[in-house]
Amino acid sequence: MQVVAPVIIVADDDRDDSLVLITALLSLKQELTVIAVSNGEELIHMLRRVSPEFIFLDINMPKKNGFEALKFIRSNNTLDQSIVIMCSTSSSTNDLRMSQELGADLYITKTPTVKSFNKMIEEIFKRDWTGKKTEAVPGALALLHVQ
């Protein structure tokens, strides 16, 4: 029986931020398929072909922003099990609230160092995501920021 590596999509228009996140994912030392896109339209196009386990979604992107992409994801029944993690430099309560209302599973702030970002990614992958879709809107959306 062939084991299929989990698919993860990183949607971020900032190449440096994408590279830091992809590096953190690869540091987990587990088999993963990582796909990078640079805007919301590319993400939606990719989502018509694959159903990822995780989507790391920047808020401020060209063409379609992260909120618009999140609306598409949550309106698509084939993507309802995808775990959507909003990634932003913003720690605005408005962005956090909007992410929660639109159905994000987690909201994280981008950290200034690779080491702290790696630790954050490790914490995300340690979580038990089983049954995460028992409610249409998560009861409590965590703001995760590891120093």
pLDDT at 2: 60
pTM: 0.85
Q: Which fold has domain 24-144?
A: Rossmann fold (3.40.50)
Partners of 83 in the beta sheet? 54
Determine how many CB atoms are found less than 10 A away from the CB of residue 125.
16
Domain ranges of the chain: 24-144
Give 65-105 pLDDT, tens digit per residue. 999 999 999 998 888 789 999 988 877 788 888 998 899 98
Please tell me the distance from the alpha carbon of residue 111 to that of residue 133, in angstroms, as a whole number: 27
Which carries the bigger pLDDT value, residue 52 or residue 127? Answer: 52
For the chain, what is the total number of helices (H) and then of strands (E)?
5, 6
Banded pLDDT at 1 (limits 50, 70, 90): low
Helix axes 66-74, 40-47, angle to 10 degrees: 20
Q: For the residues of 54-65, what is the DSSP string, one character each? A: EEEEESS-SSS-
Banded pLDDT at 42 (limits 50, 70, 90): very high
pLDDT at 13: 93
Banded pLDDT at 28 (limits 50, 70, 90): confident
